[in-house]
Structure 1
Amino acid sequence: MTTTDAREQQRALYGAPLGELAAEVMSVLGLTQGKLAHTLGLSAPMLSQLMSGQRVKIGNPSVVHRLQSLITLSRNASGLSADQVASELESIRDEQHTLTGTSRDNSDTEAAVQALGASATGAQLSQVAAAADVAGADALAALLRRAAGAARG
Structure 2
Amino acid sequence: MEDHKIVQRNIALQREWYGEPLGDRVRRLVVAFDVSQASLADVLGISAPMLSQVMSGRRAKIGNPAVLARLIMLERKILTPDVASGRREALQRALDDVRASKPAVTRDNLPVDVGRSAIMALRRLIPSDHLTEAAAALDGRFPELAELLRHAGKRI
On whether the aligned pair clears a TM of 0.5, the verdict is: yes
What is the DSSP-based 3-state SS (H/G/I as helix, E as strand, rest coil) of the residue aligned with 1:45?
helix
How far the C-alpha of 1:60 sits from its partner, in A, is 0.9
Q: Distance in 1 between matches of 2:74 and 2:98?
A: 7
Question: What stretches of structure 1 move > 3 A for 4+ residues in a row?
Answer: 97-100
Amino acid at match of 1:41: G
Q: Distance in 2 between matches of 1:7 and 1:71?
A: 20
- The Cα RMSD (Å) is 1.9
- Within a 5 Å distance, the mapping from 1:35-50 to structure 2 comes to 35-50=39-54
CA contact (8 A) 1:61 1:98 kept: no
Which of 6, 9, 14 lines up with 2:10 in the alignment?
A: 6
TM-score, length-scaled by structure 2: 0.58
Report 1:127-146 matches (<5 A): none
2: distance between equivalents of 1:40 and 1:47? 9
Q: 1:60 aligns with which of 64, 73, 77?
A: 64
Q: By how many angstroms is 1:97 displaced?
A: 6.4
Unaligned runs of 5+ in 1: 101-153
- Answering whether residue 92 of structure 2 is matched by residue 83 of structure 1, we say no
Quick one: which of 18, 21, 34 aligns to 1:17? 21
* 2:78 paired with 1:92: no
CA distance in structure 2 between the aligned counterparts of 1:48 and 1:94, rounded to whole angstroms = 22
The aligned amino acid for 1:52 is S
TM-score, reference length from structure 1: 0.59
1:14-44 deviations in Å (ceiling 9; x for gaps)? 1110111111100111010100110010011
Matched-pair identity in %: 35
Shift of 1:86: 1.2
Work out which structure has the larger RCO, using CA pairs closer than 8 Å and 6 or more positions apart in sequence: 2
| 1:144 paired residue number | none
